[in-house]
Structure 1
Amino acid sequence: MDAIDEKIIAELTRNGRISHSELASKVLLSRNAVRQRIERLEREGHIAGYTIVRADGDTSDAVSALVLVYRQDRMRGGDVLAALKRIPEVVICEILSGDFDIMVRLEAASLERVRAIWEDIAKMPGVRDTVTALTLSTVVNRPRRTALG
C-alpha cells in the first residue's frame, strides 16, 4: 500500500458511496486507476467490506451481545479464531489480555440466534468456557475513526 491507497481508504471511510470519478479527483488519478486500485485493495484484504451506519445509532430489532471466550490453550487457539471469522453476526473479535482470551461482539436478528451462536462457540474444540452478556441499551456508539487523511 502506498500513500494514494491510504488516501483512497480514508475517503471511502468518510463516504463509502463516493463515486469513482469524485474519488479520482480527490486523489489525482483517473477514474479507471481508482477503480483498479479499489479492486486490488479488496482482493488483498485491505478493504474487507462496506457497511451502513444508521442515523442516531438505530439498530432496529438487532440483539447485541458480548461473549468472552476462554480457550483451553491460548497459544494454539487459531482454529477458534478461524471459526469465529466465519460467523457473519460477529462484528468484533479481539484477543484480550487477562482472564479471558477473546472478546466477541455479536449483532444478531434475534435472541434465539444469539443463543445458537453462543452454543456453537461453547461447543468449539479448544473453547473451555464462555461468559455472555446481552446489551440492554447503547450509551455511546461512535463511528470508528482512522488516522488517515
Structure 2
Amino acid sequence: MKYVLDRTDELILSELKANSRVSHIELANKVNLSRNAVRVRIERLERDGVIKGYTIVTGGGPGSSVTTALMFVYRHDRMRGGDVIQALRKIPEIVACDVMTGDFDLLVRVESSDVDRIRHIWQQIAEVPGVRDTLTAFALSTIIRK
C-alpha cells in the first residue's frame, strides 16, 4: 500500500524544490521534526517514487547561455517506435522527451551551449531509422522553469 502524502511531506517537498541542497537539520527545523524523522521521510518519498531523481541544471550563470530547441518528431509507426526513443536516450543534450497525442509523436527538448551542436542533433535525429519527419523551434527565452 502506498503512503498518502501528509502536510509535512508536502512541506518537505516544497522546501526541497526551493533548495535541494538544504541540510536535513535545516529542513527539520523548518518542518518541526527531528533530523532523523526528515531523513526517514525523504527515504520513503524516494522509495515510493515521489522523489524520482536528482537533477543538475547547468548554465544560467554569468556569461553563460544555453540555447533550447523544441523538436517535434514524427515516427513512421507510433506504436512500434521504441527504437527512436532508445536512440534519443543516448543523446546527452536531450533533457526531456514526451510522447504526444495529436499530430506529433514526440516532443523533444534539447539544451546546449553550442547552437551548432543542436544542428548536429537535429541531423542525428532525422537520420534515425523510424523517424519520418521533424519540426524544430528555438526558444527565445524561458519565462518559467521549475
Structure 2 length-normalised TM: 0.73
Q: Are the structure 2 counterparts of residues 48 and 143 from structure 1 closer, same or farther at C-alpha, using a change threshold of 3 Å?
A: same
Note the alpha carbon deviations across 1:55-86, whole angstroms, 9 max, x for none: 7x978332221111001111222333344344
**Number of aligned residues:** 141
The SS at the match of 1:10 is helix
Q: 2:118: which partner in 1?
A: 114
2:14 corresponds to which of 5, 10, 13: 10
The SS at the match of 1:49 is coil
Distance 2:104 2:34 in 1: 48
The SS at the match of 1:73 is coil
Check conservation: 2:59, 2:66, Cα contact below 8 A. Answer: no
Check conservation: 2:68, 2:109, Cα contact below 8 A. Answer: yes
Unaligned runs of 5+ in 2: none
Check conservation: 1:69, 1:102, Cα contact below 8 A. Answer: yes
Larger Rg computed on CA atoms: 2
Give percent identity, aligned residues only. 51
Residue 111 of structure 1 aligns to which amino acid in structure 2? V
Note the alpha carbon deviations across 1:8-66, whole angstroms, 9 max, x for none: 222211222322112123334332343344355456652322345877x9783322211
Q: Say whether residues 1:128 and 2:132 are aligned partners.
A: yes
Q: 1:47: which partner in 2?
A: 52
Note the alpha carbon deviations across 1:96-127, whole angstroms, 9 max, x for none: 22221111121102022112222222222322
Q: 2:39: which partner in 1?
A: 35
Which structure exhibits the higher relative contact order, with contacts defined as CA atoms closer than 8 Å and separated by 6 or more residues? 1
Q: 1:95: which partner in 2?
A: 99
Structure 1 length-normalised TM: 0.72
